[in-house]
A and B are shown apart, each in its own frame.
Chain A
């Protein structure tokens, strides 16, 4: 099977004659078919009117300025988010190289990593390109934060290995982020499995959100994260977490802040607004109340701490620092939503179970 990754077209347009399917939630990729050829167009995150990469799969024609990959048996999967998706599609055994195996928490991935000789090309945030090349991948799946980070991959491209940038972390809706499973399904020949799995996730998520909307419960106030050196990053009102809080029937205190990124506030400003909030979600790396007050003693002044309203997504954290929150939760936003509803409105959860990702802070 031939895969062709096309760089941005000169006219920034899409190839002719392709029938494009728009995903339901994501606004950052398109799936296309033209006869026996398949396409995925990935939008440029910094300018969504432009295409970052147009990926072609087929054997009939190789479009201009395209890189062909004859094989996809060995994949360099450079983040746990992607290995989580590959595990869902039962394709984790294609992984030949990754960033740091200890952060990939999926049981099948862990089994594969311990059984096979998967190369670790990264320590920390840096990737050793030479080590990555030695693992002899057919394809690299990665992401970048800024253009400088993107250019670091040029060396891999020059060696004839296509590098596909999957920027799903920039999606602002939980289901949009999970919908990238379809991209993996396409790349790995598991289109039907990806469609089926995503449909299941979408239906579960939507039914939970609809149930909350219909019940229209009183919305508890919520805020999140923790300060680092006096500075407190909070998701803006159009962000992934803000959408999740809204769907879970909570009143996120910074919901009116425009944008999908983050805002940085000082601890005083956060306290002024959130001191009486009902819930505090994801307070840094802390699993105990003691740990939280050791960051800053003043954090014990928040009411949420006095009423047992602090929950952290550390339940699935392993001793090495890996956490299913960073991989499995991305592909299962429905389970994250169910956890949050169970925290905010325990009486409204249809299937009463233990939370999967979140745990209350211990004393």
Chain B
């Protein structure tokens, strides 16, 4: 009963945030701004929140590490590096082509998946979860260094494109992008939901998981690909959105007081949705006549919250 109450409260919070985000600034529903700009932005914030949260929960389970998330596993740095390569490959003055617009999303996904495929290769050789986390961190450093070198060689306009993409924004998601974003996040989340019992069995250790009938190697591959696909797609479309994937599962665990994935699933996605909607709301309406970077707002909300959780747990 308590759990249902929490889920209903979180749902109400999300509905409230959706309403506030949609209607802030006295936005009439018959205004073309509403359908062309406001609605796609709010939908993408909600969908990205769900995708990042579920991706984060899956990765924290996979790596048996509460700090795991799209950043730490190399998925987001992989997407960032691929986008940097893509943007720097275009000559100055060519910015704004169809290839560039849609391409950023596609290469973001490709970059993320390539890193995760490399992770799978490493896993085949050294299958320990700790190795995967360590290699993710190292790949993150390596790709970050590569991105910095590319920036050093780039022209000002190319750097601007990359920097603006790196600020993270749900504004750049256009109405026609929504079905792709929604489709990938839905498919990933649903397929990961089917793996919830395997996740429960995997958490205590490989031996326990194997004894419970889980094919550990296959489970890792599926989880990495599905979580990476969701994170890469969101990063490609919206730019890097930090902390949501890491913090949302922690909020859910704190509220539900459980590590059972079936119990955590809906609260986690609702927490992710609420975080992204709140960040989007603050980014657009905290300061009038100015838009703040969504990624920075996520960090401002997420970092103290994570610290509070860590300190509370002692």
Task: Assess the B96–A268 pair: CB atoms within 8 A.
Answer: no
Residue B161 CB within 8 A of the other chain: yes
Whole-angstrom CA separation of A271 from B37 in the bound complex? 9
Partner of B159, one of A125, A263, A272, A298: A125
Contacts of A257 in B (CB 8 A): 289
Does A107 touch B at the CB level, under 8 Å?
no
> Considering only CB atoms, which chain B residue lies closest to A232 in the complex?
B291
B291 contacts A294, C-beta separation under 8 Å: no
Given A272-B33, A321-B91, also A229-B96 (CB < 8 A): no
Partner of B101, one of A123, A263, A295: A295
B174–A228 contact, CB under 8 A? Answer: no
Which chain A residue has the least Cβ–Cβ distance from B44?
Answer: A230
For A271, the chain B residues whose CB sits under 8 A away are 33, 36-37
Which of B32, B38, B169 is A230 in contact with, Cβ under 8 Å? Answer: B169
- Report B40 CB to chain A, min CB distance, Å: 9
Asked if residues B172 and A227 are in contact (CB atoms below 8 Å), the reply is yes
Give the contact-size bracket for chain B. 35 or more
In the complex, per-residue mask of A289-329: 1 if CB is within 8 Å of any chain B CB, else 0: 00110111110010000000000001001001101000000
A227 / chain B contacts, CB cutoff of 8 Å: 171-172
A264 to chain B, nearest CB (A): 6
Q: How far is the CB of B152 from chain A (nearest CB, A)?
A: 4
Q: Min CB distance, B298 to chain A, in Å?
A: 15
Most buried by B among A126, A230, A314: A230
Which of B152, B165, B176, B284 sits near A125, CB closer than 8 Å? B152
Q: Which residue of A lies closest to B165 (CB)?
A: A229
- B291's contact among A231, A291, A296, A298, by CB below 8 Å, is which? A231
The reply to whether the CB of B310 lies closer than 8 angstroms to some CB of chain A is no
By the criterion CB–CB under 8 Å, are B41 and A268 in contact?
Answer: yes
Contact call B289/A265, Cβ cutoff below 8 A: yes
Contact of A231 with B37 at beta-carbon distance under 8 Å, contacts A284-B95, A294-B96, A297-B176 already known: no
Which residues of B, 96-133, contact A by the 8 Å Cβ criterion? 96-98, 100-101, 104
Which residues does A use to contact B, with CB under 8 Å? 123-126, 226-231, 257, 263-269, 271-272, 275, 284-286, 291-292, 294-298, 301, 314, 317, 320-321, 323
| 15 new A-B contacts at CB < 8 Å, known A229-B239, A230-B171, A231-B167 | A124-B151, A125-B151, A125-B152, A227-B172, A228-B160, A228-B164, A231-B171, A265-B289, A265-B290, A284-B96, A285-B157, A295-B95, A296-B172, A296-B174, A297-B174
Nearest 5 pairs between A and B by C-beta? Answer: A230-B171, A230-B172, A321-B92, A228-B164, A268-B37
